[in-house]
Amino acid sequence: MAGLDDPATVDLVTQDADGDVALILVHAEPWSADGHDVTRLREKLNNYATYALDGQLVDTYPEASGARVRIQVDSVEEPTGDVAELLATARRGLAKHSIDLTTNIITI
């Protein structure tokens, strides 16, 4: 998975039985305390939103046409501090475009 190291890459796209599409961003390391991850996460989230809103998602996956879309951030620990604040801000902004933003704690 590319994770935050490659902001231009969508890590994973899934579609569930209901047809909902998840654009999954995988961060397999603890969140940095120095704020470096905030910058990289912001860029990656912006690229995911562009991918969904500008039609690239449907161009690549025509079966996603008309589907509900969510961006899912998978990470090894609960986001806190500046990362959690960025996710809250992004969640509000994405909701205006009918895109959900969720987080999921994974075990690697």
Confidence of residue 105 (pLDDT cuts 50, 70, 90): very high
pTM of the model: 0.93
Region of 15 please: left (phi>0), alpha (psi -120 to 50) or beta.
Answer: beta
Distance of alpha carbon 66 from its chain centroid, rounded?
Answer: 19
Can you give the pLDDT at residue 100?
A: 98
Report yes or no: 72 and 104 within 8 Å, Cβ to Cβ. yes
Q: pLDDT (tens digit, 9 = 90+) per residue, 50-86?
A: 999 999 999 999 999 999 999 999 999 999 999 999 9
Q: What is the dihedral of CA 29, 33, 36, 41, to 10 degrees?
A: 60
pLDDT in tens, 22-47: 999 999 999 987 888 999 999 999 99
